[in-house]
């Protein structure tokens, strides 16, 4: 059930201009997403679902409002861009919640994530192609998988709601198992390295030794086209960034933050080198689009990570005798 409360509608209708209205809509949607994260961390999954209903309602409201603006107008394209920036940051947060949610609710979150991704794709198409979403016949034909949902759950539990995840099922289990940020970052890095190895036709990175007999196996390597594997890498980097940001918001002095960011930065510097070659080998627009997404995330990571102070020596290591 998607909804926009009466108070929220009144606030949006009072906005002085389209830009202010879209900004207010994005801020209200972000508030719902933050509340959903709070309830998810407290294992209150029904309340989290209700907040996600408010989030979806506001995102849908923003898309409809922008679609009613003048076609091929610069200010309208700016509105699409603002919504794209918001969705780009929010989608990985939804993925993080999904990996912390029991299976019966995780399927519902997958539907929300898919809706947000599809909406972002349409927003980008409108931004670059000067189309209006609501007036586009092809857009109107698209099925909405979150519109008619059972009331006992917020979102339909159907295999039809599943789209390609940027992690395999086993990789997702490893992310859930590794609750420490640095170990979870290691999972993201190996998953990315594995996809680059498949794309480049090189040997897969070695599987790390298990330190806990309960730790899940890595399972079979991912399958897909080059564009799909590159899209996976972009999604994994998004999720890695979101995990670090999430810990930073809750505990900015956590020592695992700098350790994880150093690991991710070191790996990302290598990814940027590979992307230069892959760009010249790109076979279609989907591959190029995924490469741009990876570069965007990678540049964000290195911009912050390269500013970290030198890592302090491990005080636990015994000094060598002269």
pLDDT, mean of residues 158-186: 79
Mean pLDDT for the chain overall: 82
Q: What is the pLDDT of residue 285?
A: 82
pLDDT, mean of residues 119-134: 61
**Domain ranges within the chain, ordered by starting residue:** 6-161, 169-305
Could you tell me the pLDDT band of residue 161, with boundaries at 50, 70 and 90? very low
Could you tell me the pLDDT band of residue 136, with boundaries at 50, 70 and 90? very low
Report the alpha-carbon distance of residue 147 to residue 277 in Å, rounded: 43
Q: What is the pLDDT of residue 7?
A: 93
Q: What is the pLDDT of residues 217-228, one digit of tens each?
A: 999 999 999 999
Q: What is the pLDDT of residue 321?
A: 47
Q: What is the pLDDT of residues 186-195, one digit of tens each?
A: 999 999 999 9
Q: What is the pLDDT of residue 129?
A: 52
| Spatial CA neighbour of 115 closest among 142, 77, 82, 79 | 142
pLDDT, mean of residues 146-151: 43
Q: What is the pLDDT of residues 59-71, one digit of tens each?
A: 999 999 998 888 6
296 has a pLDDT exceeding 60: yes
């Amino acid at each position: 059930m998607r909804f926009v409360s009466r108070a929220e509608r009144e606030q949006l209708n009072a906005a002085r201009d389209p830009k202010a209205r879209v900004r207010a809509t994005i801020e209200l949607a972000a508030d719902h997403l933050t509340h959903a994260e709070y309830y998810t961390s407290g294992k209150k999954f029904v309340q989290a679902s209700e907040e996600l209903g408010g989030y979806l309602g506001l995102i849908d409201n923003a898309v409809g409002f922008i679609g009613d603006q003048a076609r091929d107008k610069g200010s309208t394209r700016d509105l699409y861009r603002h919504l794209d920036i918001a969705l780009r940051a929010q989608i990985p947060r939804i993925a993080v919640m999904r990996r912390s949610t029991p299976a019966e609710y995780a399927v519902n979150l997958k539907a929300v994530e898919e809706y947000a991704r599809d909406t972002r794709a349409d927003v980008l198409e409108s931004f670059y192609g000067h189309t209006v979403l609501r007036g586009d016949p092809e857009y109107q034909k698209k099925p909405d998988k979150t519109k008619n949902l059972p009331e006992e759950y917020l979102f339909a539990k159907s295999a039809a709601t599943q789209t390609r995840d940027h992690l395999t099922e086993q990789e997702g289990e490893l992310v859930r198992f590794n609750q420490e940020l640095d170990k979870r970052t290691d999972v993201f890095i190996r998953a990315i390295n594995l996809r680059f190895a498949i794309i480049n036709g090189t040997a897969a990175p070695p599987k790390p030794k298990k330190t806990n007999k309960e730790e899940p196996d890595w399972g079979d390597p991912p399958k897909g086209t080059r564009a799909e594997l590159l899209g996976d890498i972009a999604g994994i980097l998004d999720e890695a960034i979101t995990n670090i940001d999430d810990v930073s918001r809750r505990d900015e002095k956590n020592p695992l933050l700098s350790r994880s960011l150093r690991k991710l930065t070191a790996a990302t510097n290598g990814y940027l080198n590979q992307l230069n070659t892959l760009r010249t080998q790109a076979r279609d627009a989907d591959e190029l689009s995924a490469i741009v997404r990876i570069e965007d995330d990678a540049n964000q990571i290195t911009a912050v990570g390269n500013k970290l102070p030198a890592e302090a020596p491990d005080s636990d290591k015994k000094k060598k005798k002269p």
